[in-house]
Chains A and B, each alone.
Chain A
Amino acid sequence: GIQVEQSPPDLILQEGANSTLRCNFSDSVNNLQWFHQNPWGQLINLFYIPSGTKQNGRLSATTVATERYSLLYISSSQTTDSGVYFCAVELGVGAGNMLTFGGGTRLMVKP
């Protein structure tokens, strides 16, 4: 099956710092989503981004589908950004919207 790898696995930042999280996938995908799982376990949608670039406040994401990777940028990090960031991909046509998740990047932002 498809492999979804995220890096780095763990990241510690000082408040105010910027960071880039990466998601590599091993096959062509129909779609890609980025999620933030907060310390209480809730998965929150950040971006639906099968290709191109999107921005939402301090967060932005870029997916280069032809090269099979996506990047999530966090600028001016805040302690509330702490948690686990997952990318999830849907395989090609006929995959029925089923998502395969990466292993996540665990982010801790220190005050």
Chain B
Amino acid sequence: EAGVAQSPRYKIIEKRQSVAFWCNPISGHATLYWYQQILGQGPKLLIQFQNNGVVDDSQLPKDRFSAERLKGVDSTLKIQPAKLEDSAVYLCASTPLRLAVFSYNEQFFGPGTRLTVL
């Protein structure tokens, strides 16, 4: 079974430029997550999709970050314009559809995109 795919693996941009990251979850996984991991910290959730709908985006800085999952499969995360503090690794994760409130599905992570903003 193929894992979560992300691209690019590395990106270097100057502040105020735009950047986009792509994620393709594990086949059949309905739920997709984007996390931001700043150096030395644990990942922090930015946004969660279930199919093509947003479940939670309360921690997404919406003035500069946007994300979409138009067909309920792959997803794009965009930053426009980038700031120095956006330098981080952006991780994508996916899980199968949650069938019951008390059920839980392990999250599987992609390799991440390391963004450096100069």
Write the residues of chain A forming the contact surface with B, with a CB cutoff of 8 angstroms.
4, 30-31, 33, 35, 40-43, 45, 48, 50, 86, 88, 90, 93-94, 96-104
Contact = CB atoms under 8 A, between A and B. Distances in A.
Contact of B42 (A48, A86, A93, A96): A86
Nearest to A100: B45
Contacts of A104: 41-42
B44 to A, nearest CB: 7
Contacts, number: 61
B104 A99 contact: no
Interface residues of B, number: 26
B43 A30 contact: no
A31 B89 contact: no
Contact of A99 (B55, B89, B107): B107
B104 A42 contact: no
A42 B31 contact: no
A46 B52 CA distance: 29
B106 A33 contact: yes
B42 to A, nearest CB: 3
